[in-house]
Amino acid sequence: MSDVHVTGLADHHPAVRAAYERVVRRDPDQPEFRQAVLEVLETLSPVLVQHPEYVEAGILERLCEPERQIVFRVPWRDDRGRVHVNRGFRVEFNGALGPYKGGLRFHPSVDLGVVKFLGFEQIFKNALTGMSIGGGKGGSDFDPKGRSDAEVERFCQSFMTELFRHLGEHTDVPAGDIGVGGREIGYLFGQYRRLANRWEAGVLTGKGLEWGGSRVRTEATGYGAVLFAQRMLERRGRSLEGVRVVVSGSGNVALYAAEKAQQLGAVVVACSDSGGYVLDEKGLDLDLLKQIKEVERGRVADYPARRGGAARYVAGGSVWEVPCTVALPCATQNELDAEDARALVRNEVAAVAEGANMPTTPEAVRVLREAGVLFAPGKAANAGGVATSVLEMRQNARRESWSFEYTEAELARIMADVHDRCEEAAERHGAPGDYVLGANAAGFERVADAMLAQGLV
């Protein structure tokens, strides 16, 4: 992200320019964080005009600076006895609405800037759910791929040994993210319980069903993105019934986005991984894909041979070149660029809903919005995961376990509310149908009002 974007804010509210210039000056080596901040700030001028009290209280400056940034080393031994040292992070960004809530990511790309970008997005995402949760994020540059269960266990125990003192169901509640699934959550929770000497089920979400987890949590992020896309289309008199859908990625979010899209009558024809994409004109066989990806931990390249002649694999290709009506980027940040967006527009895409966090570059977002494509930003469209995490916390507090059907109905209700908050805020600020402005404005206003009420903290 070039600092030329500061100049691009010349027509915006002076408080927007000042806040972003401060971020650029303080965090010049954190491009993902600066990008996330810019994408929010550049939509907030109409909000600040209506609410000068936000400017007077320095809400923007305070919101762009985390309440707490925790960085620590994580020493551990591999199966051969060799010592490794990774770096751990937890950014407790904003707690005005409730305990910090956000996932842990274990991936070599994780650094402080990435965690801050994710935590900043989480503030608004959590606010949009209407629930009492603040925004935070964490993780490590540890890579669990290729590591034995014993190595992952030792790493998780070392990681939690440092982090546990900062957590608590009323303080900070992590969940899983990339590289942190049920196995890792189990090891982390066990070490927390050992160190804290209490069964505090609400301190981590994404737990196993037999020990405090929630049904639908695995499916929630992917399901939620599709439910949001469906509601966008319904507002225009359309639906997912019979339309072609393309999903990027083939992990948890992508697989369950594809599943929900199929349940709603769509034909999901393609998905991808880092090596390329698979195209199945008859519609993806999700049972086969889940076997390959979730059980065998294989690659989408393995799919065509086992599917038969109905599918083909395109090595190194962009899944966005596949014609579709609805596109669901569900892999990682900045995966869909301007060239990809132009390809989608040429193929007459109607809607894009982000299942991943900030998967669409700013240039690509502009291409889509200028072409009139319905665009749902991740802070709104993928809020289903954190919403279901809060449902898990509710069940933990009550010592209850809800059915799949009841929990899914709650998820559907929450995603409808998220959509409607974004839609209403966009209309109120003079930009009907602009879900980017709507999501940012609705989330920002809820957090800003709480910060005003609580004084200068």
The span from the CA of 409 to the CA of 407, in Å, is: 5
C-beta atoms surrounding 356 within 10 Å:
27
Residue in the structure block whose two tokens are 């519609």: 283
DSSP letter at 360 equals B
Please give the angle made by the CA atoms of 211, 135 and 155, to the nearest 5 degrees.
50
User: Max alpha carbon distance in the chain (Å)?
Assistant: 64
Q: 307 Cβ partners below 8 Å, 6+ apart?
A: 280, 285, 288
Catalytic residue among 101, 116, 125, 137: 137
Can 137 be counted among the known catalytic residues?
A: yes
SS3 breakdown of the chain: % helix, strand, coil, rounded to 5?
50, 15, 30
Secondary element (H or E) of residue 232? helix 217-234
CB 71 within 8 A of CB 87: yes
Class of residue 15 by CB neighbours under 10 A (exposed 0-12, middle 13-18, buried 19+) = buried
Distance CA 304, CA 288 (A): 10
3-state SS assignment for residue 69: strand
Q: Which of 401, 397, 360 is nearest to 377 (CA)?
A: 360
Distance of alpha carbon 96 from the chain centroid: 20
β-sheet with 351-353: strand ranges across: 311-315, 276-280, 267-273, 244-248, 326-329, 351-353, 374-376
Tokens standing for residue 442 = 């609705």
- DSSP assignment letter at 398: H
- For the annotated catalytic residues, the residue numbers are 137
